[in-house]
């Protein structure tokens, strides 16, 4: 009987540690998204108003269009991964005609807020559930958010060149 109690206590302890570690990883993910939002805002703030329409070559997106593309993905991936409705139709941010610094900043930050607010609502178990993103890619919801984080990091990094072309020193890296 004593052995059974000991084994049960050990199992409960291990379960509590694993739950704590998993929940911490959700909390850390939210912290990473908040850091990414702040870092992206530094990029948006650093670019002068005149640079929002800057295109390094005619056939690629402008600075504003890259940031709005990043925003579309933030809404689309989050809504798709969690099977919820996005307040912004997929592709709508990308198509806005008002590419002023003020409007683009507002739209981009709202996209980050959508990701963060929805991550705060999910549990570890929900993040481990499977989802089919964009009707084609089956993966755990956690992986969908990892792919989304990679996407926003890629496109923010892409805009470093735009800042340099506008004569602006990009913000320092924010890994921590």
Annotated binding site: 69, 151, 155
Annotated binding site for a divalent metal cation: 69, 151, 155
Return the pLDDT at 124.
Answer: 86
Return the pLDDT at 107.
Answer: 96
Q: How confident is the model at residue 25 (pLDDT cuts 50, 70, 90)?
A: confident
CATH label, 27-165, candidates 1.20.120.450, 3.30.2290.10, 1.10.1670.10, 3.40.50.620: 1.20.120.450
Q: What is the pLDDT of residues 126-167, one digit of tens each?
A: 999 999 988 899 999 999 999 999 999 999 999 999 999 999
pTM for this predicted structure: 0.85
Domain ranges of the chain: 27-165
The full 3-state SS of the chain, as one line of letters, equals CHHHHHHHHHHHHHHHHHHHHHHHHHHHHHHHHHHHHHHHHHHHHHCCHHHHHCCCCCCCCCHHHHHHHHHHHHHHHHHHHHCCCCCCCCCCHHHCCCCCHHHHHHHHHHHHHHHHHHHCCCCHHHHHCEEEECCCEEEEHHHHHHHHHHHHHHHHHHHHHHHHHCCCCCCCCCCC
Confirm if 127 and 142 have CB atoms less than 8 A apart. Answer: yes
Confirm if 63 and 105 have CB atoms less than 8 A apart. Answer: no
């Amino acid at each position: 009987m004593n052995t059974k109690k000991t084994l049960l206590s050990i199992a409960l302890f291990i379960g509590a540690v694993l739950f704590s570690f998993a929940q911490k990883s959700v909390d850390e993910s939210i912290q990473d998204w908040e850091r990414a939002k702040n870092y992206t805002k530094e990029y948006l703030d650093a670019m002068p108003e005149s640079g929002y329409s800057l295109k390094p070559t005619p056939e690629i997106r402008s600075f504003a269009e890259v940031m709005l593309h990043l925003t579309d993905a933030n809404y689309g991936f989050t809504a798709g991964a969690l099977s919820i409705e996005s307040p912004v139709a997929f592709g709508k941010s990308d198509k806005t005609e008002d590419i002023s610094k003020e409007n683009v900043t507002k739209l981009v930050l709202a996209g980050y807020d959508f990701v963060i607010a929805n991550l705060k609502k999910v549990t570890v178990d929900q993040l481990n559930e499977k989802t089919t993103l964009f009707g084609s890619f089956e993966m755990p919801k956690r992986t969908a958010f990892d792919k989304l984080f990679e996407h926003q990091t890629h496109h923010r990094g892409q805009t470093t060149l735009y800042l340099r072309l506008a004569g602006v020193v990009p913000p320092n890296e924010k890994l921590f």
